[in-house]
Amino acid sequence: MSFKDNVGYSRERMFTIAELLPITPDGLSRWINQQAYGDPVPTEDMRPVHRRSSTLEFSTKAISSFMPGVNATWDPVTAHGNPTAQMPSKRLIKKVKKFEVRREGAKNKARRSVEFDEFMNLLQLVRAQWADNDSAYIVRWCTITPMAHL
């Protein structure tokens, strides 16, 4: 709503149905573009480097859950229904996915798992600190060692 109204809202703010009804698929598409590209009307040479497709999908799903008539499809004649179920937003997210596959989109921020060699180095560091402080060693050892057996 901040994008639509140019007003900052608190996280606890509850919007009325009358405030949510004016949201349209075009407004939602402009918001998705703003999130992904940093501009509501991106040019062809711009790349979606600000948000990943999974973030955009979750955001539209979250918006959809708060929309009145969540199960109704968008009717362009009456301008009622759920604007997130309309094709423009889905096409935009699909376009962002294509850029991600080509490695031209936002970077993946997922954490990777610890490799075996890194884990063994960590165990060696804990063992090396045993002489410094016995109680700290026991706590670390009890926390880390069971992971080696998984």
Q: Helix/strand/coil (H, E, C) string of 58-115?
A: HHHHHHHHHCCCCCCECECCCCECEHHHCHHHHHHHHHHHHHHHCCCCCCCCCCCCCC
DSSP secondary structure code for residue 98 in this structure: H
In a domain, 106, yes or no: no
In a domain, 111, yes or no: no
Q: Are residues 96 and 137 in the same domain?
A: no
State the pLDDT at residue 134: 63
Q: Is the pTM of this model over 0.85?
A: no
Residue 58 tokens, joined: 């979750």
Asked if residue 44 lies in contact with residue 59, where contact means CB atoms within 8 angstroms, the answer is no
Q: How many domains are there within the chain?
A: 2
Q: What range defines the domain where residue 138 resides?
A: 116-148
Q: How far apart are CA 134 and CA 150, in angstroms?
A: 25
State the pLDDT at residue 47: 92
State the pLDDT at residue 69: 74
Going by pLDDT thresholds of 50, 70 and 90, the confidence category of residue 149 is low
Average pLDDT, the chain: 80
Helix (H) or strand (E) holding 32: helix 25-37
Give the residue-averaged pLDDT of 40-51.
91
Q: How far apart are CA 38 and CA 12, in angstroms?
A: 25
Residue 8 tokens, joined: 């900052």
Q: Are residues 120 and 97 in the same domain?
A: no
In a domain, 109, yes or no: no
State the pLDDT at residue 145: 60
